[in-house]
Each structure stands twice: as C-alpha cells, then as structure tokens.
Chains A and B, each alone.
Chain A
Amino acid sequence: MKYAHEFRDPVLAQGLLGQIREAVARTSATVSQPLNIMEVCGGHTHAIFRYGLHEMVPGEIEFIHGPGCPVCVLPMGRVDDCIEIAEHPQVIFTTFGDAMRVPGTKKSMLQAKAEGADIRLVYSPLDALAIARSNPDREVVFFALGFETTMPSTALTVLQAVKEGIRNFSLFCNHITVPQPIKALLDDPDMRLDGFIGPGHVSMVVGTRPYDFIARDYGKPIVVSGFEPIDLLQSVLMVVTQIAEGRAEVENQYGRIVPRDGNRQALAAIDAVFEPREKFEWRGLGEIDASGVKMRPAFAAWDAEQKFDVGYGKRREVADPLDARCGDVLKGQIKPIACPLFGSICNPETPVGALMVSSEGACAAYHQYVGARAREAQAV
C-alpha cells in the first residue's frame, strides 16, 4: 500500500480499505461509472492528496473536490475591493496570509503592499484589534474571510471592540456558509454526486443539523469527518455503506469534536453580529442565494462596507481569466490537470486562479502531490 508507513495504524488502514472494497462491491458502481463522493472541505482535499487516499481507494470511488476553500472561491471583485480600501492613506488593512496572493483584476494584495499600501498579516482578528487599539489615529480594517469555522472569531472580536469602545476598527465581511453551495451543486443538472464527506471544523461550530436537507430532500448520504487519514477512510466506508444499504442519513464520524447541535457560545456570537445576505458571489459558481453573511445594521460603525462604501454588488461582476477552468474544477467537473493553464501559466508561484493559491485548493494540492506524475502521464 502506498504511503502506508505514514499511517499511525497501517493494519487498521488496510482493514478499512478491505471493508471499503466489500461495500463498493455491494453497489452498482463500476470504474467507468464510479461513486462520486465530494469532500466539501479544502482541509480534507489537502489530506486526501497528502496521504494518497485517492489512489488507495478502489477505482469505483471518485473523490470530487468541493468548494470548501474560502480563499479559492473569493471573487476577483472582492480582492479589488480589499485593495481599494487598503489604498486609503489612513487605513491599515489586516488579513490572514492565505489571501495575500489571490489575484485581483489588476493586482494582488501582495503587489498592492509592495506599492506602498499598509497591508499587514495577522494570525488572528484579535491581533488586528490590538493594532487598532495602539493606532487610534488610523482606521484598521480586518479582512473577515472564511466559513462558519472563522465566523465566531470575527464576531467575538467585533463584540470586544464594541465593549471597549474601539471605533477605528472594522470588518470587511466576506464570510460564506457551507450548506448553500452544497444545495446549489445538488440542484445543478450537470452534477452527479452520490454522497458527501462533511467538513469537520465547520461542523464543530454549526453541528450536523444544517446538513439534514441533504439526506431528507436529496436522498444523499453525508458523513461529517475528522482530518486524520484513518478518519477519512472510515468516513468513506460510512458513505459507501449507506449507498450499498440504500440509506441516506447524516452521520457523524467526528463525534469526539462535533456535537449534534454545534457550539452554543459560537453560534450566539455569530447570530448577534451577522445576518444572511440575499445572495453572494462565489468564484466559479456564480451567485448563490443566502450563501454569505453581512453585519447587522446595529454594527454599521464596525462594518467596512459602510465605512468605505464598497457594499456587495457595487462593483460590476468581474469574469475569471478567459482560459482558466477554475469553475469547472471547483464543481469537480474536470480535474485540475485538464485546465490548459495548469502548471504552465498557472502555478503556485504565479497563480492565475485562486485554487492554485491556498494549500487547501484542489489545484495547489494537485500541483504539489500528483501534478508532476499526471503531467508525465498526459505527455505519453
């Protein structure tokens, strides 16, 4: 078995692979008509490639890499908005490192910083608040990015700013949610998905109830999974077993971290600060109803969209680069290697599409772990 030595328990991994093979045999899947199982979370995509799980599972199982990498689905127009805000002379713009190299229409934040914009990398929104505290004559903006996992941290930071009366701090809110794009993909007539590996740390916050519609309304299984390779193999087994037995349920493989009802304090903070947007644009997927949040009107004084007049939709929609197939990769319709830009014009050093930027992006993972081998195969 490839990479087996890296498993904490290779015997357990072998056993699970055997059980997966048996379960697959009880379905109608074939190598040419495989079970399409989407791992929603970018962290899972990274782990699958790092441990070579996609090559270990039987050929009747195909991993479809989902849209669960927040940097990857960030539309170019929003990067442009960041740069517009950051180039105000009184602004200190703060961001997680992942977002720095995402291309906007003209430049990335990294390029804007090189040209003189005061853009600073922070590990936590709390660090951005500390910068605001010690720079009362500057406007400090935090680029709030990420799924439900990150929302409690930015919400709690805003609540702390309010408590301390810090008025020179604001969020540029670009948070997005997991269930809505899953629904959009299930509604897409071009997609054929047989089951889902659900995100672990998003579910730690929201619990498993938000996925009930997947089983109830669409008849598809979903298993919330941990990040260890053994976790992922167990989750694949649980999904395939459901399919083999004709069941569609929400199951929780990561119960040691994920409570059914999520984290009460985290959900309360999210609900206090944020409300759903009518719709939000996803790179490659277009606009999806209720798939993002904005700050509630009570927090307008801490909302960078209000402070800098860059509300969602004010900028005309910006198309992705002409030849890039980011959208098709994001939906799992093509593998990264099938994109004409992959590995040549678009690579981790000079990314054209955002999927090449983050280690959680399917293209970056492909490039790092399987790209060279795939390119060789294609050349033959």
Chain B
Amino acid sequence: MCLGVPGQIVEIVDPELLIAVADVAGVRRKVNITCIVNDEHKADDCIGDWVLIHVGFAMARIDEAEAAKTLKVLTTMGELQAELMAMQNSAEAP
C-alpha cells in the first residue's frame, strides 16, 4: 500500500471539494487533488497533469516519462494489477 500508481487527471468534478477524475492505465476513478493544488497551480490547471495517486489521493505531480517508468516497474512487480483490481472492486467507488 506504500506504492502510488501514476495516472492522468482528465476532468475536474468538484472544484470546491477538489475532486477530479483520473485515468489510471485505462481505469477511470475519482481522486482528491488537494495535495497538488496551490496558489500557483489551481484546480483547473490540473487537467492533463500526470500524478502519483495513493489510495484515491493525487500526492505529487510527475512528468509523463516518470509515469511510464513507474507503470512498468509496478507491472513487473504485480502491484499495478493489484491496485487496479482494488480500484474496480472497491465496495463503493464514489
């Protein structure tokens, strides 16, 4: 559970609660973007961002090459599949 998974922010759902939709290896899910938003980088600026997502929270902005490398390592370790399964099987995905 310590490993984040890379995803790309594709839509802002709730700019007040800072909820966005991220695409993680083809799986879409809502994520909270509080930790990547600040005065210089507002919610709307996050669309298109590659981010490291940890249990539904975008924790850091990363570049696309970093995202690709991380996805490869996670796939090799079997962690990506586990994360995607956890996302899809979550009791109530909001």
Contact = CB atoms under 8 A, between A and B. Distances in A.
B1 A127 contact: no
A361 to B, nearest CB: 12
Contacts of A199: 2
Nearest to B59: A204
Contact of B35 (A131, A145, A263): A263
Contacts of B92: 120, 122, 127, 130-131, 134
B35 A152 contact: yes
A123 B85 CA distance: 9
Interface in B42-85: 52, 54-57, 59-60, 62-63, 66, 69-70, 72-73, 76-79, 82-83
Interface residues of A, number: 58
A150 B55 contact: yes
A359 B66 contact: no
Contacts of B66: 256-257
Contact of A227 (B56, B70, B89): B70
B78 A150 contact: no
Nearest to B17: A160
A121 B35 contact: no
B60 A126 contact: no
B2 A265 contact: no
Interface in A153-177: 153, 156, 160, 163
Interface of B: 1-4, 17, 29-30, 32, 34-35, 37-38, 52, 54-57, 59-60, 62-63, 66, 69-70, 72-73, 76-79, 82-83, 86-87, 89-94
A50 interface: yes
Interface in A122-155: 122-131, 134, 145-147, 149-150, 152-153
A124 B55 contact: yes
A150 B1 contact: yes
Contacts of B17: 160, 163
Given A47-B77, A149-B2, A123 B86 contact: yes
Interface stretch (A94-102, A235-243, A328-336): A94-102
A8 B73 CA distance: 9
